[in-house]
């Protein structure tokens, strides 16, 4: 492929790919390497892809496969088949929307098991529908829904805990000002 | 559809509205408009999902990542002509010829009683010529005028490939070098010997390269056990000998980069 095409593709996708990689690989260095490796593979093999509309899907799929191949031993698969599981309505309304930042979201995502983390991150990046997420991760669409349902509940719980923990942090009290009638 | 079924479906509905026209969600969305309990849940879900999505998309990306990707992409684009001497076929043919030449020289030597085999051995040449050859090939690789013979982010894969293709490669590399993500490798021919080149992503975003050749090919090989640092044509390099090979680490980054990478003992 010509160099400008490659550059355009990089510009269009490298940021969400890096954020996906960061949630998977846990460190910025590893995420950058994973993102870089994905584009490296695209530059060497991407010309084999005939449907240009599938570039984004190819990149995310490749990044995920590269992650799995590098961290195969760390991946823990759930013992139970999650298909068919349903979610309960949350017991109480979630009030975390205004009290979190990007780092807190990534930190919380990284605490969640990889089988939930990958679909969850793709969902929040909003790049793919749940069916497309199923294609990227090579799992059934119903499994994506199950994992999103469970994963979102876990993420909210972690974010609420983080938010409550932050609000409980001790803040040093401001020293009272000297009174005007103090010692001279 | 029960509310429980609806929440299960709507949980997969992206908060930015991209799935609003997806028929899969249509019934659940209508139900969410009609049922106050479900609506309250869905509104809260969307508000929280929107906040999480916005925060995730605000996570900063390393400033040098784009340039690193573009550099790596230039190095790996396919379709570039490969020099005839870098192909597997060449080395297979060369090995066959070497065997025949070896047999012929042995036969001749036994017949006339002279050291004929010494006449075909390449004369050792200055280390500077090897450095020039390595730098010239690396410059071509970086400029996209040459392509790797093998690619992998895992150095172990490239070590295995080089070994399988008869090119010199140290089985043990300095710890920091071993930990870098590799890009690819290339076999070149120098002074009648195969020489190996491996390219890495350096720790600070720049490229770092490792060159290896049989030590006997060099008239003034670098010392064993400790590197000698130098600069040549804009390249910073560190040279040492190891396992019968002359080793050279090169980069365009400051020399301190090489010193950091080789801070641990280079002896296995």
pLDDT (0 to 100) of residue A82? 41
Which range has the top average pLDDT, A160-174, B80-94, B248-262?
B248-262
pLDDT (0 to 100) of residue B94? 63
Nearest to B258 by CA among B234, B229, B226, B232: B229
Residue B132 CB partners (closer than 8 Å, separation 6+): B232, B233
Please indicate whether, in this complex, the C-beta atoms of A19 and B61 are within 8 angstroms of each other.
yes
pTM summary value: 0.59
Per-residue pLDDT of B127-179, as tens digits, reads 888 888 899 888 888 877 778 888 888 888 899 889 888 889 988 888 788 88
Q: Does B3 touch chain A (CB under 8 A)?
A: yes
Say what percent of chain A tops pLDDT 90: 44
Q: How many CB atoms lie within 10 A of CB A90?
A: 16
Q: How many CB atoms lie within 10 A of CB B173?
A: 23
Please indicate whether, in this complex, the C-beta atoms of A102 and B58 are within 8 angstroms of each other.
yes
d(CA A117, CA A23): 7
Per-residue pLDDT of B62-100, as tens digits, reads 988 898 888 777 666 654 444 444 445 555 666 666 666
Nearest to A90 by CA among B22, B40, B147: B40
Element (H or E) spanning B70, and its range? helix B65-76
For A93-170, the fitting CATH number among 1.10.510.10, 3.40.50.2300, 1.10.10.10, 3.40.50.800 is: 1.10.10.10
Mean pLDDT of chain B: 80
User: Taking the mean position of all CA atoms in its chain, how far away is CA B78?
Assistant: 15
Three-state DSSP state, A105? helix
Contacts of A125 in chain B (CB under 8 A): 53, 56-57
From edge to edge, which strands make up the β-sheet containing B182-190? B150-151, B182-190, B193-201, B207-214, B245-251, B235-242, B228-232
Q: Does A16 touch chain B (CB under 8 A)?
A: yes
Minimum Cα–Cα distance from B154: chain A residue? A70
- Is residue B145 within 8 A of residue B80, CB to CB? The reply is yes
ipTM of the complex: 0.79
**In chain B, which among 219-258 make CB contacts under 8 A with chain A?**
none
Q: Look at residue B125 and tell me whether its pLDDT is greater than 80.
A: yes
Per-residue pLDDT of A50-97, as tens digits, reads 777 889 999 999 999 988 887 764 444 443 334 444 445 454 445 666
Per DSSP, helices labelled H in chain A are: 3-25, 28-45, 55-70, 102-111, 114-125, 130-137, 141-167
Mean pLDDT of chain A: 79
CATH-assigned architecture of domain A1-72: Orthogonal Bundle (1.10)
Contacts of B62 in chain A (CB under 8 A): 18, 28, 32
Strands B193-201 vs B228-232: parallel, antiparallel or unpaired: unpaired
Q: Copy the structure tokens of residue A43.
A: 């530059």
Q: From the list A28, A93, A129, which residue is nearest B44 (CB)?
A: A93
Tell me phi and psi for residue B182, to 5 degrees: -85, 160
Nearest to B86 by CA among B166, B158, B181: B166
The angle at the Cα of A118, spanning A115 to A120, to the nearest 5 degrees, equals: 100
CA distance B147 to chain A (A): 10
Please indicate whether, in this complex, the C-beta atoms of A18 and B65 are within 8 angstroms of each other.
yes
Please indicate whether, in this complex, the C-beta atoms of B18 and A129 are within 8 angstroms of each other.
yes
Site from B12, B13, B151 to mutate, A interface, most A CB atoms within 10 angstroms: B12
Three-state DSSP state, B125? strand
**In chain A, which among 147-166 make CB contacts under 8 A with chain B?**
148-149, 152, 155-156, 159
Domain positions in chain A: 1-72, 93-170
To 10 degrees, what angle do helices B65-76 and A28-45 make?
30
Q: From the list B7, B22, B153, which residue is nearest A129 (CB)?
A: B22
Determine the average pLDDT of the residues in A15-37: 90
Q: How is B182-251 classified by DSSP, letter by letter?
A: EEEEEEEEETTEEEEEEEEE-TTSSEEEEEEEEGGGBSSPPPBSS-EEEEETTEEEEEEEETTEEEEEEE
Please report which confidence band the pLDDT of residue A44 belongs to, taking 50, 70 and 90 as the band edges.
confident
pLDDT (0 to 100) of residue A180? 44
Q: Does B143 touch chain A (CB under 8 A)?
A: no
Please report which confidence band the pLDDT of residue A149 belongs to, taking 50, 70 and 90 as the band edges.
very high
Three-state DSSP state, B35? coil
Domains and CATH numbers, chain B: 3-57 (no CATH), 69-82+124-261 (3.30.200.100)
In this predicted model, which residue has the larger pLDDT, B126 or B205? B126
């Amino acid at each position: 492929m010509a160099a400008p095409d490659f550059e355009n593709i990089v510009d269009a996708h490298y940021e969400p790919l890096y954020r996906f990689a960061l949630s998977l690989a846990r460190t910025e260095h590893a995420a950058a390497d994973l993102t870089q490796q994905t584009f490296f593979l695209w530059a060497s093999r991407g010309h084999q892809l005939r449907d240009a509309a599938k570039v984004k899907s190819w990149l995310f799929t490749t990044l995920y496969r590269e992650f799995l191949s590098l961290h195969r031993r760390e991946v823990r698969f759930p013992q139970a088949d999650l298909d068919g599981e349903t979610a309960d309505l949350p017991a109480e309304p979630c009030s975390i929307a205004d009290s979190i930042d990007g780092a807190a979201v990534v930190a919380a995502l990284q605490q969640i098991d990889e089988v939930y983390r990958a679909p969850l991150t793709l969902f929040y990046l909003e790049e793919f529908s749940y069916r497309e997420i199923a294609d990227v991760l090579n799992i059934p669409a119903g499994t994506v829904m199950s994992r999103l349902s469970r994963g979102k509940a876990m993420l909210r719980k972690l974010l609420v805990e983080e938010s409550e923990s932050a609000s409980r942090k001790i803040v040093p009290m401001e020293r009272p000002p000297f009174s005007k009638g103090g010692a001279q | 559809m029960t509310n429980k079924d609806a929440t299960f479906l709507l949980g997969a509905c992206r908060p930015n509205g991209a799935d609003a026209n997806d028929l899969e969600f249509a019934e659940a969305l209508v139900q969410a408009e009609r049922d106050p309990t479900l609506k309250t849940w869905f509104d809260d879900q969307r508000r929280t999902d929107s906040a999480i999505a916005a925060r995730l998309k605000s996570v900063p990306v390393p400033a040098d990542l784009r340039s690193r990707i573009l550099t790596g992409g230039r190095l790996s684009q396919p379709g570039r002509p490969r020099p005839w001497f870098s192909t597997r076929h060449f080395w297979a043919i060369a090995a066959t010829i070497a065997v025949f030449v070896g047999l012929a020289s042995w036969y001749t030597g036994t017949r006339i009683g002279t050291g004929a085999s010494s006449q075909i051995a390449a004369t050792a040449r200055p280390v500077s010529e090897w450095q020039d050859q390595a730098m010239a090939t690396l410059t071509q690789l970086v400029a996209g005028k040459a392509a790797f013979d093998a690619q992998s982010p895992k150095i172990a894969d490239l070590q295995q490939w080089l070994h399988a293709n008869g090119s010199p490669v140290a089985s043990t590399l300095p710890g920091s070098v071993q930990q870098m993500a590799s890009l690819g490798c290339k076999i070149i021919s120098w002074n009648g010997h195969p020489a190996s080149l491996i390219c890495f992503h350096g720790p600070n975003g720049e490229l770092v390269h490792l060159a290896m050749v049989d030590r006997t090919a060099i008239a003034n090989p670098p010392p064993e056990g400790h590197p000698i640092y130098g600069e040549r044509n804009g390249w910073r390099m560190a040279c040492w000998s190891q396992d019968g090979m002359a080793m050279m680490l090169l980069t365009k980054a400051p020399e301190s980069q090489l010193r950091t990478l080789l801070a641990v003992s280079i002896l296995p």
